[in-house]
Amino acid sequence: MRIAEACAVITGGASGLGLAVARHVVAQGGRAALLDVQEEAGMRSAAELGARACFLHCDVTAEATVDTAMAAAAQAMGGLNLLVNCAGIVGSARTLGKSGPMPGEHFARVVQINLVGTFLCDKAAAAIMQKNAPNADGERGLIVHTSSVAAFEGQIGQAAYAATKAGVIGMT
């Protein structure tokens, strides 16, 4: 993939790793659609990046919202050939801490954002990319997953995070 030809959707693009990826894509001449739940940060980041970037509010845990945002991003950029999944939360909590067991809802929320959200974005992007004409290398698009060494070496308080990052590796 030539980054200068990228029409990239970057989840978690309003800040952190996602914003760093967006900066790189735009600096190399590509286009970037920042998908994030952080409205103010997303608008500010897209403005900072200039005309080759846009922001779309997107909760990666909501399938219909993901589908709509992915389609809107493709339309805004004139296509979609790169998805970089950076949306995620650490969600630190011990399985059994001083205040008792970790609530199941906490574990489920981390799984929904980090793992299910990655899958929902993958399938929405792939559905668009499958219609792309192959480039000179036969590629129609590229999907990048973000994981962590925590998938193999989880730390205290990272049961949910480590499980999701291992799941992302398995899904890849």
Q: How far is CA 97 from the centre of its chain?
A: 30
- Can 162 be counted among the known catalytic residues? no
Length reported for the chain: 172
Q: How far is CA 92 from the centre of its chain?
A: 20
- Burial letters for 59-96: b for 16+ Cβ neighbours within 10 Å, e otherwise? bbbebebbbebbebbbebbebbbbbbbbbbeebebeee
From the list 7, 161, 163, 168, the catalytic residue is 161
How far is it, in rounded angstroms, from Cα 20 to Cα 11? 12
The residues carrying an active-site annotation are 161
